Amino acid sequence: MKSDFLTKEYQLGLGGVAIGTAFQNITDEESHKILQTAWDLGIRYYDTSPWYGLTKSERRFGNFLQTKDKSDFIFSTKVGRLFKEVPESEVPPTMWKKPLNYDFRHDYTADAVKRSIDESLERTGLSAIDIVYIHDLSEDQVGDRYPYFLEQAKKGAFKVLSDLRDQGIIKAWGMGVNKIEPILDCIEAADPDICLSATQYSILEHEDAVDRLLPAVKKAGVQLVSGAGYNSGFITGRDRYNYKDVIPKGMSQKRDRIAEIAKKYDTDIVHAALQFVLAADEFASIIPGASKTEQVKDNVEALNTVIPPDFWNELKSEGLIYEKAQTPSYR
């Protein structure tokens, strides 16, 4: 299972953040069209979370996927928050544009993880969950309670997910986080199979991951999935970076320069960004979200495009990508 759980047929998946109304209020009908387009184009890895849209995304994925043969696709969701239905007036402020009427709390105990999985199965109507990610157990999400929740997870989530995997109830588990440290902490304390690396590795920002994250997961035999290879839309031209409105200094200029060089080689920065992530041996899959069917089609096109080697050489020569970073070889 280790190192090869996600095979090449799953290297492009569909993430569920946008379908959870992260950036705009897409309707049930629009989300269905996005999922149908992904399916028709051969995408067979689908990732979501009860957090996305306060359970809305999970329900939308389930409504679509429960009509398919479970052996035909891989499905992952997440644990770490528990949800309770509340009046609309009590729904907490979140990043979601049109969430369902739920409140939540972080909980990484064994009982909470088992309850979360049961509730995800009920919401989706699926017979099984293939991969379970421990969601947002990271300082950027839980603040100075990180050490407390990490200890909770070591005694709870880490152990129960290993047990569920060993019993064959799930196929794999790992962290789903925006920072490097939680993945390293998990590898040190437990035996994860696969981790969702949300904002640590992209064509724009990857040096720290190359030096610290990739060697650690390679040594541990842990695969990575990229959850924000486009920096949550910044690479496509959106005015946000890694789910926030603050753009790091110099990043717009870096993006624009890479886009300019891409044009010179008759390609574009989005295609290059997708291929850059997958060029790293440690990344088994990339799962960009989509708020339009055209984005899904473009991701498939990006996967199958050959970009001239001179493009990558020029990026390295200008210091736009790290000299130690792997680039596509098109063997």
d(CA 192, CA 2) in angstroms, rounded, equals 9
Q: How many CB atoms lie within 10 A of CB 171?
A: 18
Catalytic residues: 47, 52, 78
Q: Are 109 and 152 in contact (CB under 8 A)?
A: yes
Q: Are 65 and 305 in contact (CB under 8 A)?
A: no
Tell me the DSSP string of 152-182.
HHHHTHHHHHHHHHHTTSSSEEEEEESSSHH
Dihedral, 312, 316, 321, 327 alpha carbons, nearest 10? 40
Q: Shortest CA distance to 322 belongs to which of 276, 285, 283, 281?
A: 276
Phi and psi at 120, nearest 5°, equal -65, -40
d(CA 198, CA 53) in angstroms, rounded, equals 17
DSSP-based three-state secondary structure for 73: coil
- Distance, CA of 308 to chain centre: 27
d(CA 228, CA 234) in angstroms, rounded, equals 10
Residues belonging to the chain: 331
d(CA 62, CA 59) in angstroms, rounded, equals 5
DSSP-based three-state secondary structure for 79: strand
